[in-house]
Each structure stands twice: as C-alpha cells, then as structure tokens.
Amino acid sequence: MKTLTVTAARQNLGSWLKKTLKGEDIGVMIDGAIVAFRPVTVYSEDYAAQEYGVTGEQLDNFVDATNRELDADRKARRLKAFTGTLKRA
C-alpha cells in the first residue's frame, strides 16, 4: 500500500483517486492511523436513506406526488420542452 501524508494526498488528490480506481492501494496517514481510499458503489435507495434519513416508503410517496404534480402541469400546459443543449443551458 502506498501511504501518504495528508499534505501529499491533498496536492495530487485527483491523481491518487485515479490510481485507486485502477486497483492501487492508497492510504493517508492521519493521527497515527491509515485511512484507505476504496471505490464504492452507491445505490439510490441507500443514498436517500443515508443522505436524507427517509424510508423507502417515504421516497416512493415523494416520487408519486412529484409525478402527479408533473402530470397536472403537463395537462395544464405549464411545462415547456427543453430543446437546447446542456452546454448552452
């Protein structure tokens, strides 16, 4: 494992993270302990629970309410289709 100081890790953080994605073990020494970089997979249901503290049922209710609101706005012609590019927006 390549072990770095916080200062060294900060100076080239992007480079170290890219090396981690390629399979290298990279760690940062802080307060006498090593904290390792590891790629992780984020699942949307985990994200909502961890980030906002909502249950799956609460998230489903939110999605349903948002879809109903969008449907009502479509019927009332309050929505305008986006026809540009993201770079220009």
34-76 pLDDT per residue, tens? 999 999 887 666 778 888 888 888 989 999 999 999 999 999 9
Encoded tokens for 74: 């479509």
Rounded-to-10 torsion of CA 50, 51, 53, 56: -70
On whether residue 89 sits in a domain, the answer given is no
On whether residue 62 sits in a domain, the answer given is yes
Question: Alpha-carbon distance 53 to 42, whole Å?
Answer: 16
Do 10 and 32 belong to one domain? yes
Do 10 and 30 belong to one domain? yes
Is residue 32's pLDDT more than 90?
A: yes
